[in-house]
């Protein structure tokens, strides 16, 4: 009985248990258990033996069915003809990939994705860090302000896009009126139609929604820095800027990298706000990678071309994940 | 000594002013779009295009809420969203907890399995949704509640697993070991001992799964059309509008953001873990 219980996984914890001052109690428990072995059916015994795999099974099977299988399926699709406008499913080799790679719109959308996500994430990072720095020490009203600042995180990006549309779109939105009053001269910006303002609008919406993300993570990092370091620095008469460079920044480093990586991986998917605010337009001026692939697949119905493109995009992202995320989330043994 | 003291005092006083300005600016930035949306939702249509804009309507009205919910089928979207998000949340929390326990206590599959689950979180949805769309059309899951529930369960699983993974690892094993020594089966040690102890963590993971489902747009846009459409997809009706439906769009937005914001603010203690997949303890 005991051997069955104390198989591999328990061997170590049990021995450590025995080393503790609790030894007498542990011994009693062992004796009790030995005296009254639970009666298990053959099925239950088998279930108990494979317990760890049974627990993992539902989640793993679901992910296999709805993530890995579709990915393999799409790999097949990207090498055949799967187009609602061209009949038949013949093997076409790399043709679908060629179509994407040589499509100027595809390259433009990838470039725009990089630019938009890069600029948005940079602004979010700086702004989030500044706000986090102001919120480290407690002050009256901090709890309420905290609750307000995190609100954008719980709103659908669609609604964020809608909210900024209401603010910016001419002639309804009040933004141009407010700017006119503030600047003292007539402002008539087409926030959703004119370059570069439509990019500004998209970035503002993204910054509004995701600065709290940076802020929350960086604040957690800041509060984890041991306060005695700051006390020591104060005793040494070091100025605030030096404290920031010598203490805050190095301690916050890993957290910064984590926040940046997570945010960047989400930012490059940018789709929802564009769908609502500009619809990719005017023309193809606000096509991001996701939006481009969506249009190719679901409005032009070149499904195999879209899957080929999404595989290229996937490999792109997988590289970032493999390089950065794995390093960040090292599973250190407890 | 006397010379140092005033300098330091001046420094301390000057810091909060910058802090207040920055925080104030940021608070206005966060609240302003929300206020304007609320303002639009209760504003009579006649007040839309006035110059200067109407900052607060003299005669607030609820007509836009009525139109958004009934004329534009917002209520159907709301009900669908509730059914789908709640079901997916329960499944995701359940399966996520099961798997996380196995990973945390038995180190099942080593790092590879846990990292494999995590990597699912970072797959671009466009890569998944195209083939899923084709498969769903083939097996009759397109535009069904069940189809979207399964999709949402899978897409929230990585976060549920990793949040619970971190939670279980932070929990002492001694209670479960005692139960095992007392003759419990492993399942009993898990279900009767570990799960009740981890209840707060499970609730937090469920809250974040719910918010993720509730706010999701991309999968719903592609995998549903007239039957199982969720609340965020209703906003398609207001794209490219020319003035007539600002109020309806705003009203629907207000209706839709209340539940997720309420839940999120209630669970904010766990927010850091939720955002970083348990990598950082808040």
More confident residue, A108 or A241: A108
Q: Distance (Å, rounded) from C-alpha A32 to C-alpha A38?
A: 11
Is any Cβ of chain B less than 8 angstroms from the Cβ of A251?
no
Whether A158 and A296 map to the same domain: the answer is yes
Q: Is A242 part of a structural domain of the chain?
A: yes
Q: Is the per-residue pLDDT at A127 higher than 50?
A: yes
Length of chain A: 334
Q: Is A288 part of a structural domain of the chain?
A: yes
Whether B150 and B265 map to the same domain: the answer is yes
Whether A138 and A266 map to the same domain: the answer is yes
Domain count, chain A: 2
Shortest Cα distance from B79 to chain A (angstroms)? Answer: 17
Which residue is it, tokens 């609790």? Answer: A22
Nearest CB to B243; choose among A172, A255, A326:
A172
Q: Cβ(B171)–Cβ(B127) under 8 Å?
A: no
Instruction: Search chain A and give the residue with CA nearest B127.
Output: A310
Closest listed residue to residue B224, CA positions, set B147, B152, B153, B156: B147
What does residue B105 show for φ and ψ, rounded to 5 degrees? -95, -30
Q: Cβ(A149)–Cβ(B26) under 8 Å?
A: yes
Q: Choose from B4, B124, B232 for mutation: most chain A CBs within 10 A.
A: B124
pLDDT at residue A242, rounded to an integer = 87
Domain count, chain B: 2
**Residue B280, SS3 per DSSP:** coil
> Would you place residue A7 in the very low, low, confident or very high pLDDT band (cuts 50, 70, 90)?
very low
* Packing angle of the helix pair B195-215, B246-266 (nearest 10 deg): 160
Whether B75 and B146 map to the same domain: the answer is yes
Nearest CB to B186; choose among A51, A172, A258:
A51
pLDDT at residue A330, rounded to an integer = 58
Q: Is A86 part of a structural domain of the chain?
A: no
Give the domain extent around A198: 95-328
* Packing angle of the helix pair A104-135, B4-41 (nearest 10 deg): 130
Contacts of B114 in chain A (CB under 8 A): 331
DSSP A38: P
Whether A129 and A46 map to the same domain: the answer is no
Cis? peptide before A196, omega within 30° of 0:
yes
Whether A177 and A307 map to the same domain: the answer is yes
Q: Are B119 and A325 within 8 A, CB to CB?
A: yes
pLDDT at residue B111, rounded to an integer = 83
DSSP A80: B
More confident residue, A237 or A149: A149
**Cα dist from B192 to A42, A145, A169, B92, B170, whole Å:** 22, 39, 56, 20, 18
Is any Cβ of chain B less than 8 angstroms from the Cβ of A255?
yes
Whether A195 and A108 map to the same domain: the answer is yes
pLDDT at residue A27, rounded to an integer = 47
pLDDT at residue A150, rounded to an integer = 94
Whether A258 and A324 map to the same domain: the answer is yes
Q: Are B98 and A9 within 8 A, CB to CB?
A: no
Nearest CB to B280; choose among A145, A163, A220:
A220
> Would you place residue A26 in the very low, low, confident or very high pLDDT band (cuts 50, 70, 90)?
very low
Token pair belonging to A141: 């009203």
Q: Is B228 part of a structural domain of the chain?
A: yes
Q: Is A10 part of a structural domain of the chain?
A: yes
Whether B154 and B119 map to the same domain: the answer is yes
Is any Cβ of chain B less than 8 angstroms from the Cβ of A56?
yes
Nearest CB to B130; choose among A157, A303, A320:
A303
Quick: pLDDT tens for B167-198: 999 899 888 889 988 888 888 899 999 999 99
Whether B135 and B206 map to the same domain: the answer is yes
pLDDT at residue A319, rounded to an integer = 84
Whether A35 and A66 map to the same domain: the answer is yes
Of A44, A77, A110, which one is at a domain's C-terminal end?
Answer: A77
Whether B94 and B161 map to the same domain: the answer is yes
How many CB contacts within 8 angstroms connect chain A with chain B? 303
> Would you place residue A20 in the very low, low, confident or very high pLDDT band (cuts 50, 70, 90)?
very low
Low-confidence ranges of chain B (pLDDT < 70): 1-15, 240-244, 282
Is any Cβ of chain B less than 8 angstroms from the Cβ of A64?
no
Q: Distance (Å, rounded) from C-alpha A207 to C-alpha A189?
A: 20
Quote the radius of gyration of chain B (alpha carbons, Å): 24
Burial class of residue A212, CB neighbours in 10 A (0-12, 13-18, 19+): buried
- Which CATH number goes with the domain that contains B226? 1.10.3720.10
> Can you tell me the mean pLDDT for A78-83?
86
Strand partners, A83: A86
pLDDT at residue A24, rounded to an integer = 46
Whether A217 and A288 map to the same domain: the answer is yes
Of A77, A106, A137, which one is at a domain's C-terminal end?
Answer: A77
Q: Is B53 part of a structural domain of the chain?
A: no
Q: Are A36 and B183 within 8 A, CB to CB?
A: yes
Q: Is A71 part of a structural domain of the chain?
A: yes
pLDDT at residue B282, rounded to an integer = 59
Selected residues 88-117 of chain A with any CB under 8 Å from a CB in chain B:
none
DSSP A98: H
Least confident stretch, A10-24, A39-53, B134-148: A10-24
Give the domain extent around B81: 66-275
Quick: pLDDT tens for A241-295: 888 888 888 889 888 988 998 899 899 999 999 999 988 878 889 999 999 999 9
Q: Distance (Å, rounded) from C-alpha B157 to C-alpha B195?
A: 18
Whether B11 and B93 map to the same domain: the answer is no
Whether A9 and A158 map to the same domain: the answer is no
Q: Is the per-residue pLDDT at A308 higher than 50?
A: yes
Residue B114 CB contacts under 8 Å (≥ 6 apart), including other chains? A331, B103, B161, B162, B165
Share of chain A above pLDDT 90, in %: 42
Whether B11 and B132 map to the same domain: the answer is no
Q: Is B174 part of a structural domain of the chain?
A: yes
Selected residues 264-293 of chain A with any CB under 8 Å from a CB in chain B:
265, 268-269, 271-272, 275-276, 279, 289-290, 293
Quick: pLDDT tens for B59-75: 889 999 999 999 889 99
Whether B17 and B112 map to the same domain: the answer is no
Q: Is A51 part of a structural domain of the chain?
A: yes
Q: Are B187 and A40 within 8 A, CB to CB?
A: no
Q: Cβ(A84)–Cβ(B221) under 8 Å?
A: no
Q: Is B229 part of a structural domain of the chain?
A: yes
Q: Is B244 part of a structural domain of the chain?
A: yes
Q: Choose from A50, A59, A329 for mutation: most chain B CBs within 10 A.
A: A59
Q: Is the per-residue pLDDT at A222 higher than 50?
A: yes
Instruction: Search chain A and give the residue with CA nearest B186.
Output: A48
Q: Choose from B168, B186, B231 for mutation: most chain A CBs within 10 A.
A: B186
Q: Is A61 part of a structural domain of the chain?
A: yes
Is any Cβ of chain B less than 8 angstroms from the Cβ of A131?
yes
Least confident stretch, A15-19, A129-133, A308-312: A15-19
Residue A175 CB contacts under 8 Å (≥ 6 apart), including other chains? A167, A168, A189, A191
> Can you tell me the mean pLDDT for A124-140?
91
Whether B10 and B129 map to the same domain: the answer is no
Contacts of B271 in chain A (CB under 8 A): 150, 153, 216
- Which CATH number goes with the domain that contains A173? 1.10.3720.10
Whether B100 and B136 map to the same domain: the answer is yes
Whether A178 and A265 map to the same domain: the answer is yes
Share of chain A above pLDDT 70, in %: 85
Quick: pLDDT tens for B76-106: 999 999 999 999 999 999 999 999 999 999 8
Q: Is the per-residue pLDDT at A136 higher than 50?
A: yes
**ipTM confidence score:** 0.89
Q: Is B248 part of a structural domain of the chain?
A: yes
Q: Distance (Å, rounded) from C-alpha A167 to C-alpha A206?
A: 15
Q: Distance (Å, rounded) from C-alpha A77 to C-alpha B133?
A: 12
Backbone conformation region of residue B174, classed left if phi is above 0, alpha if psi is from -120 to 50, else beta? alpha
Q: Is B50 part of a structural domain of the chain?
A: no
Whether A111 and A64 map to the same domain: the answer is no
Mean pLDDT across chain A: 83
Q: Distance (Å, rounded) from C-alpha B141 to C-alpha A195?
A: 41
Q: Are B154 and A275 within 8 A, CB to CB?
A: no
Whether A67 and A201 map to the same domain: the answer is no
Q: Cβ(A74)–Cβ(A289) under 8 Å?
A: no
Q: Is the per-residue pLDDT at A18 higher than 50?
A: no
Whether B26 and B104 map to the same domain: the answer is no
Whether B120 and B9 map to the same domain: the answer is no
pLDDT at residue A271, rounded to an integer = 94
Q: Cβ(A167)–Cβ(A191) under 8 Å?
A: no
Q: Is the per-residue pLDDT at A155 higher than 90?
A: yes
Quick: pLDDT tens for A156-183: 999 999 999 999 987 778 898 899 899 9
pLDDT at residue A39, rounded to an integer = 63
Closest listed residue to residue B96, CA positions, set B232, B198, B173, B240: B198
Of A77, A107, A137, which one is at a domain's C-terminal end?
Answer: A77
Q: Is A83 part of a structural domain of the chain?
A: no
pLDDT at residue B15, rounded to an integer = 55
């Amino acid at each position: 009985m005991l051997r069955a219980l104390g198989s591999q996984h328990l061997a170590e914890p049990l021995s450590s248990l025995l080393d503790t001052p609790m030894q007498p109690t542990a011994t009693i428990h062992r004796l009790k258990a030995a005296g009254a072995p639970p009666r298990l059916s053959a099925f239950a015994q088998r279930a108990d033996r494979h317990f760890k795999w049974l627990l993992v099974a539902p989640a793993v099977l679901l992910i296999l069915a709805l993530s890995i299988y579709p990915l393999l399926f799409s790999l097949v699709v990207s090498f055949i003809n799967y187009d609602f406008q061209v009949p038949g499913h013949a093997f076409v080799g790399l043709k679908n990939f060629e179509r994407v790679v040589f499509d100027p719109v595809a390259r433009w959308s990838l470039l725009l994705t990089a630019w938009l996500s890069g600029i948005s994430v940079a602004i979010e990072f700086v702004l989030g860090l500044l706000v986090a720095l102001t919120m480290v020490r407690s002050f009256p009203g901090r709890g309420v302000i905290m609750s307000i600042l995190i609100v954008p995180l719980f709103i659908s990006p669609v609604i964020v896009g809608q909210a900024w549309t209401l603010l910016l779109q001419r002639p309804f939105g009040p933004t141009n009126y407010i700017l006119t009053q503030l600047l003292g001269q007539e402002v008539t910006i087409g926030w959703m139609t004119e370059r570069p303002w439509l990019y500004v609008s998209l970035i503002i919406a993204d910054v509004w929604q995701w600065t709290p993300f940076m802020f929350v993570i960086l604040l957690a990092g800041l509060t984890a820095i041991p306060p005695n370091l700051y006390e020591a620095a104060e005793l040494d008469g070091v100025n605030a800027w030096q404290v920031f460079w010598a203490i805050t920044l190095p301690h916050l480093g890993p957290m910064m990298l984590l926040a940046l990586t997570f945010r960047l991986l989400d930012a490059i998917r940018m789709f929802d706000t564009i769908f609502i605010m500009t619809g990719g337009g005017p023309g193809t001026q606000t096509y991001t990678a996701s939006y481009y692939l969506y249009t190719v697949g679901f409005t032009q119905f070149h499904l195999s071309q879209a899957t080929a493109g999404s595989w290229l995009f996937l490999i792109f992202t997988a590289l970032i994940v493999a390089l950065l995320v794995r390093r960040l989330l090292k599973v250190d043994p407890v | 000594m006397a010379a140092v003291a005033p300098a330091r005092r001046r420094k301390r006083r000057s810091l909060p002013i910058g802090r207040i300005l920055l925080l104030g600016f940021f608070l206005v930035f966060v609240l302003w779009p929300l206020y304007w949306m609320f303002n639009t939702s209760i504003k009579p249509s006649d007040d839309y295009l006035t110059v200067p804009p109407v900052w607060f309507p003299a005669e607030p009205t609820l007509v836009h809420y009525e139109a958004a919910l009934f004329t534009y089928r917002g209520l159907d979207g709301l009900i669908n969203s509730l059914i789908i998000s709640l079901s997916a949340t329960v499944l995701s929390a359940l399966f996520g907890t099961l798997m996380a326990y196995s990973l945390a206590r038995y180190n099942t599959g080593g790092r590879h399995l846990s990292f494999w689950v995590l990597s699912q979180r970072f797959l671009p949805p466009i890569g998944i949704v195209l083939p899923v769309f084709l498969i769903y059309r083939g097996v009759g899951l397109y535009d069904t509640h069940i189809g979207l529930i399964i999709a949402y369960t899978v897409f929230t699983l990585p976060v549920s697993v990793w949040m619970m993974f971190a939670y279980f690892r932070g929990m002492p094993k001694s209670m479960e070991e005692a139960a095992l020594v007392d003759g419990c089966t492993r399942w009993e040690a898990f279900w009767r001992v570990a799960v009740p102890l981890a209840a707060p963590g499970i609730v937090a993971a469920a809250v974040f799964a719910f918010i993720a489902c509730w706010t999701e747009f991309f999968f719903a846009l592609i995998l549903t059309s007239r039957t199982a459409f969720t609340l965020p997809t209703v906003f398609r009706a207001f794209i490219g509008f020319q003035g007539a439906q600002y109020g309806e769009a705003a009203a629907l937005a207000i209706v839709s953001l209340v539940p997720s914001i309420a839940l999120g603010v209630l669970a904010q203690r766990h927010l850091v873990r939720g955002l970083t997949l348990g990598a950082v303890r808040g």
